[in-house]
Amino acid sequence: MSFATRTTTTLLRPSRLLITSASRTTPITGRLFSSTAVSMVRISEAIKKDHDDLREAHRRILDATTHDEKVRWRNQFTWELARHSIGEELVVYPAFEEHLENGKAMADHDRAEHQTVKEELAKFENLDPEDPKFSSTLDNLWANLDKHMADEEANDMPALDSALGSEAHSDKLVRSFSRTKKFLPTHSHPNAPDQPPFETAVGLLAAPIDHIRDLFRKFPEDAKTGELPP
């Protein structure tokens, strides 16, 4: 393996696994891990990847033709957005403050935008697709989120990448961001603190409860793998 390549372990959504014996098939709960070799990436690329995943989940909600499909992609969207938002607040925004001249103002602005998104997500994440408020709540949420993501990609992240300098420094931040997301809540908690260390403590308390809740929610890949419904 070259110096510029490392092996990472990626945490996937909690999933129900099946163990088959001669007498019965038993569902058990567990976490899925996958190991892949990836090259160093900049923090702007990692954030853009998360944003693209959110754009895809949003598009899938809009394109879904069945109630079940909409529910699955609503859950996927919630899972992605909750982890991404808190991961930025714990890892990326402190990096703004440390490395950028106007980083404190930039971080405070982005945290305020996150708070609006969290409040909208808290309203949306349990709405039934047949609820009259489903589409309008998603539209309001997406309008705020889309603007926030575009601004980060055009201004915030290029500035941070430039300040970090070498690819290795940026890659170190990416690894911290990726590790942190493994232990974060997967649902919206708009009343929780939005800065470390208090956000870290609250997140660690909320995450196990959220992960248990996720075991009883349907996700897109469940339909593909044939898992038993919760």
15 falls within a domain: no
Query: Contact, 27 vs 229, CB < 8 A?
Result: no
Is residue 167, in this structure, part of any structural domain at all? yes
Which amino acid would we find at residue 49? Answer: K
Convert the pLDDT of each residue in 98-139 to its tens digit: 999 999 999 999 999 999 999 999 999 999 999 999 999 999
Whether 210 is covered by a domain: the verdict is yes
Do the domain assignments include residue 71? yes
Average confidence score pLDDT of the chain: 77
| Cβ neighbours, 10 Å, residue 148 | 20
Question: What's the pLDDT band for 208 if we cut at 50, 70, 90?
Answer: low
Count of the separate structural domains present in the chain? 1
Q: Check whether 192 has a pLDDT greater than 50.
A: yes
- Predicted local distance difference test score (pLDDT) of residue 185: 63
pTM: 0.71
Residue 34 in domain:
no
Domain limits for position 194: 42-225
C-beta atoms surrounding 197 within 10 Å? 9
pLDDT tens across 39-74, in order? Answer: 688 999 999 999 999 999 999 999 999 999 999 999
CATH number at residue 87: 1.20.120
